[in-house]
Structure 1
Amino acid sequence: MNIKDFMIADVITAKKNMSIKELLELLVTNRIGGVPVVDKENNLLGMISDGDVIRYLQPKGRTVYDMYALVLVSEQEDLIHKLGYAIDHKLEKVMSTKDIFTVHPDDKIENALAIFSKYGFKKIPVVNDDSKVIGVVSRGDIIRYISTTLISKTEEQ
């Protein structure tokens, strides 16, 4: 089975100049956890996920001042403050640009399985021969394929 047989071809993408707020609206509206970031020609620039946003919003470490501030300000107010500060930041500050793996539509399912199992990604962009994003494959797509196709064949025997 090839990637093109079960990839999502109606891919939702983001642009690097989108704000975190626009990304969150995109993710929530479409009930997805991440998207490829592309340029005007649909070339892959990076990936962005809900996990990237969460890691961006989480303070790196606490100083003595931070600990004192936590006594004065609730955690919720601290998060609201951080959101207010970061919500307009552009995706290019947050998106992953290194160690981005892709698959080709003619690749076998095993290529995607190997990437998912080794790196723990949730989605892999599918690119054509011109390196344009033409789809995505998610862990859920693989599981649905295994469930509906492979298990059904096993039960028929």
Structure 2
Amino acid sequence: MGIKSFMGKRAEPEKAADVPMLVRDYMVTHLITFKEHENILDVMEKLIKHGISGGCVVNDRNELLGIISEGDCMKQISDSRYYNMPMADLTVGKRMKTNVETIEANMNVLDAAKKFIELKFRRFPIVENGVLIGQISQRDVLLAALRLKGQSWHV
């Protein structure tokens, strides 16, 4: 006669990937944005004032045109000094990156984390029907992971 276990069948713990945690739930929707015609010096002031490292460039219809970052501004400072070019004439449109990688609002946050790792970006804009609706940063993904840890993510 074998020994019987009184523990019964245990349910498998829910996997983190099975928990619906969407980018939409963690993205920031109140964004500091920039226009193509803005001066780089004004952009630098806004970045410092708001404590951000970059932002989306949009048109009057809030359609995404590009991204401008601290690095883009730093490059301009360096170029201006080296080539003795005035910065007062330089606009965002001349320095922004226009080949912008975006992600879907309905993407799982853990899939977004993988994309952050693969592409080494600090932020991704979220566009829906051609319009900028939000942005998610690495910090937003960390926040989501901490919330998930409290529910079903075992460390």
TM-score (ref. length: structure 1):
0.76
Q: Aligned-pair distance for 1:138?
A: 0.5
Unpaired runs of at least 5, structure 2: 1-20
Cα distance in structure 1, aligned partners of 2:118 and 2:133: 23
**Which structure is higher in RCO with an 8 Å CA cutoff and minimum separation 6?**
1
Match of 1:2 in 2: 22
Match of 1:136 in 2: 135
Is residue 2:96 matched to residue 1:114? no
Cα distance in structure 2, aligned partners of 1:109 and 1:9: 16
Measured on the aligned residues, the alpha-carbon RMSD in Å equals: 2.5
TM-score (ref. length: structure 2):
0.77
Contact kept in structure 2, 1:20 and 1:91, CA below 8 Å: yes
Match of 1:94 in 2: 95
Is residue 2:148 matched to residue 1:150? yes
CA pair 87-116 structure 1, distance change in 2 beyond 3 A: farther
Q: Aligned-pair distance for 1:55?
A: 2.2
Taking only the aligned residue pairs, the percentage that are identical comes to: 27
Larger radius of gyration: 2
Structure 1 segments of 4+ aligned residues over 6 angstroms from their partners? none
* Larger helix percent: 1
- Please state whether the residue corresponding to 2:55 is helix, strand or coil: strand
In the alignment of these two chains, the number of paired residues is 135
What are the within-5 Å matches in structure 2 for residues 1-157 of structure 1?
1-59=21-79, 85-98=86-99, 100-128=100-128, 130-147=129-146, 149-154=147-152
Unpaired runs of at least 5, structure 1: 61-77
